[in-house]
Structure 1
């Protein structure tokens, strides 16, 4: 999060019913039937993303700052997960402070292209640390929500777009660049932008932006529903990427758990914790995976998903037919490839263009691994090729276009360890046919 001069906080009169309305004067198109509930976002998945970002920082001089190798590695890490989940991703380049910066944009297929709901977070850290709360926390929650959209097969009324911004710590440079290069006609299609910057502070508060009334009430209603009081966010007001959107008239909102400001005694009574800084490691080298409050991260991640599901409208794809093998298969260290097999039966015709491949591999160095899906006729679809560095385990869902393959038959997950010293095993392999 980047400091700037806060704007005056407006007083808004809002009612719960506003969450059912549209943004910027539009009306939300509800899907037929009952309102669709957002899924619970697994805290373990969000924390794994943070562990991965920490590993990237550790391997790249201790940070993920603009112009440093750790930032580009962070972009590549997030992009790979989104590509595997069926998103259309775009890496946008810009230059600032003498170095190339990157924004990552991910579009979920479908939805009304004239009503775009965006959610985003800055992915860069300061140069003094790994930036796990600021802002790995927001980046990881947005990433896992995007992956949850894919897992659920969400079919939103509005078009969904997610963004990870570069060089926020240098003055919101990446998000300003994105908005400045968005044609006026395209800006008009963005019905709302949701920003998540620092949502796992170790001594947390629960703050909601008081910008667009509909977005604000959506978040307030969620937290009221789980018995957590909120306050209007003022410490970071106007100093994160939502300002770039707000300044061109796009409705904005978001969440925050506090930075360097000290928690008051009244806030301690309300939320617990201590009368010290919300984040004592703000912009410091100690902003690591140890600098996260799990409860705050869990609640806020679920709130991100709640807002996406509520404000976008839509339905989920009916559950598909699942074929799974949960038998452990040992992976030899720097050895021959091994396979886990599922026998698919009862599926007419060819496999889908969106075949979901769930992989669960326990391994002490996933950067050693090459993972392929092998169709019954022997065709090979690579889903993982020695990426992820030194992080442990490979737990991911990939989307494979297998539409040229006959569905029925023996499908194999083939895994090979290509380097020495680390070992593991295939823990599970699952195919889901729509």
Structure 2
């Protein structure tokens, strides 16, 4: 996915509303973009969000078919999310509470930096009902918030405001986890939260596009985004006060959020506006065993995930570091299994002298076993700089990181290549994107 001109315009409108200055988004090409001070959010890869949902589905399947409060599937879900955030550089904490005779858990993740006296928080409940795996309700919101947090890490976002993310337990029992979190905060800490964004069911199978009408700035931020991509919205009424934002709203914290509908039926007018089927529920699998990965509407999940990132970026007013020009190639390149090396090229032009001693090489490679990969940066004269060796013990997926190379002996201008080779069998992947930052 690429950032479109309408989305860039929508971002600017939202920033103006919040009294912020916004600059254009970097183009996904080999042309330089300088300096890197953009406030526009990245696209959130749908495939990444769906990968989290697949993991939550597997957890439910392996634990009695659900991820409900007090069940093993919930704790396994929390452990999965926490591991991703810990690896990405967040400071995480697990908060325990008791409900219905069982221990419940909230997960809180803070991104370093930003003004803690102005904290923007995004959250979702992680538990399901006991009758199903809860992939839309609320794996969808949980996965999208997680991937937005991971995008913050990939961008090394340096927001003006502090960023915090939360995943709540026992929402299905009456907002228990979020109430516990809010009630445990001293009044001075509550006052530091400038806004809470809630995401509960954002991939309904017969979706609508609903925006909470609580805080006007947050509401307009979402409305402007959807207007910019040509999707009309309506005010959310079906779940008003029935999800975790109510816990924050009740103590005076500004709130907002998104929703794609639950058990209510879609009207003819709504079907004409959004597509889908009139006379059927927005989510026919609401609180049922069929709330699985197969019941998710990809388009709704994609749009809402991007909207979450847009709101997080705009409301926290961040910039990405380090400053400087960058040159990027976002074209996918398949990496053959146990095959020949492949390359992706970035052309650098218009610079004088040599490359820096701290050349940043940002790499985003999707792969099911990253230990198979050998990665090199090739300078224009063919000199190879080893970024990563293969390792049989490195069984995790994906290589999403930034390397630093001393390229001060290399001429800056010319064709730089990222070379990737899979040296073992049975796993596959592709170069998603990579960039050089000078």
Q: Same fold (TM over 0.5)?
A: yes
Taking the aligned partners of 2:111 and 2:314, their CA distance within structure 1 comes to 16
Give, in angstroms, the shift of residue 346 of structure 1: 7.1
Structure 1 match to 2:177: 174
* Pick aligned residue for 1:102 from 101, 105, 118: 105
Aligned residue for 2:368, secondary structure, equals strand
Give, in angstroms, the shift of residue 327 of structure 1: 5.8
Structure 1 match to 2:219: 216
Aligned residue for 2:202, secondary structure, equals coil
Structure 2 match to 1:226: 229
1:287 aligns with 2:291: yes
1:245-324 alignment runs, 5 A limit: 245-274=248-277, 275-317=279-321, 318=323
Output the TM-score relative to the length of structure 1: 0.75
Taking the aligned partners of 1:222 and 1:310, their CA distance within structure 2 comes to 11
1:54 aligns with 2:57: yes
Structure 2 match to 1:196: 199
CA-atom RMSD, angstroms? 4.0
* Pick aligned residue for 2:368 from 362, 373, 386: 362
CA contact (8 A) 1:53 1:74 kept: yes
> Structure 1 172/260 Cα, relative in aligned 2: closer, same or farther at 3 Å?
same
Structure 2: stretches of 5+ with no match in the other structure: 1-11, 25-36, 343-353, 376-384, 409-419
CA contact (8 A) 1:358 1:431 kept: no
Taking the aligned partners of 1:190 and 1:85, their CA distance within structure 2 comes to 23
Taking the aligned partners of 1:85 and 1:48, their CA distance within structure 2 comes to 17
Structure 1: stretches of 5+ with no match in the other structure: 1-15, 23-27, 332-339, 388-393
Taking the aligned partners of 1:181 and 1:277, their CA distance within structure 2 comes to 37
> Structure 1 235/19 Cα, relative in aligned 2: closer, same or farther at 3 Å?
farther
* Pick aligned residue for 2:16 from 13, 20, 23: 20
Give, in angstroms, the shift of residue 423 of structure 1: 3.7
Taking the aligned partners of 1:107 and 1:383, their CA distance within structure 2 comes to 32
* Pick aligned residue for 1:144 from 138, 144, 147: 147
Give, in angstroms, the shift of residue 356 of structure 1: 6.8
Give, in angstroms, the shift of residue 166 of structure 1: 0.8
Equivalences, count = 382
1:158 aligns with 2:156: no
Deviations 1:362-421 (A, max 9, x none): 36xx9xx89999xx99x999998767xxxxxx2353689x9xx9999xxxx99999xxxx
Give, in angstroms, the shift of residue 424 of structure 1: 2.5
> Structure 1 414/43 Cα, relative in aligned 2: closer, same or farther at 3 Å?
closer
Structure 1 match to 2:9: none
Structure 2 match to 1:3: none
* Pick aligned residue for 1:73 from 72, 76, 98: 76
Give, in angstroms, the shift of residue 213 of structure 1: 0.5
Taking the aligned partners of 2:293 and 2:249, their CA distance within structure 1 comes to 31
Give, in angstroms, the shift of residue 359 of structure 1: 5.4
* Pick aligned residue for 1:45 from 26, 48, 52: 48
Output the TM-score relative to the length of structure 2: 0.74
Taking the aligned partners of 2:232 and 2:135, their CA distance within structure 1 comes to 25
Deviations 1:10-31 (A, max 9, x none): xxxxxx9776355xxxxx5547
Taking the aligned partners of 2:391 and 2:147, their CA distance within structure 1 comes to 23
> Structure 1 175/381 Cα, relative in aligned 2: closer, same or farther at 3 Å?
farther
Structure 1 match to 2:8: none
CA contact (8 A) 2:38 2:320 kept: no
Aligned residue for 2:195, secondary structure, equals strand
Taking the aligned partners of 1:19 and 1:149, their CA distance within structure 2 comes to 18
Deviates more, 1:232-241 or 1:93-102: 93-102
Aligned residue for 1:237, secondary structure, equals coil
Taking the aligned partners of 1:127 and 1:106, their CA distance within structure 2 comes to 26
Aligned residue for 1:140, secondary structure, equals helix
CA contact (8 A) 2:326 2:435 kept: no
Aligned residue for 1:424, secondary structure, equals coil
Deviations 1:216-246 (A, max 9, x none): 1111111111111111100000000000000
